[in-house]
Amino acid sequence: MAAHQETIYRQAGFGNAVPRGSRPGVLVVDFSYGFTDTSYPTAAEMSEPIARTRQITELARDRGHPVVYTTIAYQPAELTTLPWLKKAAGMAALLEGSRLVQIDAATGIRPTDALITKKGASAFFGTSLAALLTSAGVDTLIITGATTSGCVRASAVDAVQSGFTVLVPADCCADRADAPHRANLYDIDQKYGDVTTAADIIDWIERLPR
């Protein structure tokens, strides 16, 4: 079945490798306590993807490449009006000013890193992210974070539609369940960007001219 599936996608022209640029940026999606601290019902265990992501972000900063974090945060007045919160009611706990929307300190976030606050799944929708990346000269966006099937996928789709080459290290992404994690990585790899590993990303950044 898997081989047949691959054949179908190849015959349709999907799954080609993307050409990498020379000016990467790193987008760390929603590694906030509301998603990483399992004392909260919206969270899942994400320590290993966070640790691998941190290896990438520290190298990127050392080489002068931008690192951007995102968080989802709502004002009380939005809780009864936004359609997404009617479908995903648990997200209503992500209130502005609460610990749940703070970026997990284990990510190694620094005061010099950009932080984008969003209301939906995509890091691009309704935010200044595209302008921020363009002004920094980014041509290739490395996307990590949570959740793979939600905000990572939505951000990958909007990134490629915004003109950026997309790379997604699978071992730097996390989800609440394995099946949607794997299915969405497969779909990203076929249609929107290259799914790879932290080791590959690190090796590529290290080989770029300083």
Question: Are 193 and 155 within 8 A, CB to CB?
Answer: no
16: in domain: no
Query: Does residue 14 carry a pLDDT above 90?
Result: no
CATH number of 29's domain: 3.40.50.850
Question: How many other CB atoms are found less than 10 A from the CB of residue 113?
Answer: 17
Question: Are 59 and 205 within 8 A, CB to CB?
Answer: yes
pLDDT, tens only, 39-81: 999 999 999 999 999 999 999 999 999 999 999 999 999 999 9
Of the listed ranges 3-17, 118-132, 191-205, the least confidently predicted one is: 3-17
> How many structural domains is the chain composed of?
1
14: in domain: no
pLDDT, tens only, 2-12: 667 878 888 78
- % of the chain exceeding 70 in pLDDT: 99
Phi-psi region of 137 (alpha: psi -120 to 50; beta: other; left: phi over 0): left
Range of the domain at 152: 23-207
> CA 58, CA 55: separation in Å to the nearest integer?
5
Question: Are 126 and 119 within 8 A, CB to CB?
Answer: yes
For residue 150, give the DSSP letter: I
Whether 151 is a known active-site residue: answer yes
Q: What is the pLDDT of residue 12?
A: 82
Q: Which amino acid is at 94?
A: L
140: in domain: yes
Q: What is the pLDDT of residue 118?
A: 98
Question: Full-prediction pTM beyond 0.85?
Answer: yes
Sort strands 173-174 and 194-196 into parallel, antiparallel or unpaired: unpaired
User: Tokens 């590529």 — which residue?
Assistant: 204
Query: Does residue 1 carry a pLDDT above 70?
Result: no
Mapping DSSP to helix (H, G, I), strand (E, B) and coil, where does residue 161 land? Answer: helix
Catalytic residue among 56, 151, 195, 201: 151
2: in domain: no
Query: Does residue 210 carry a pLDDT above 90?
Result: no
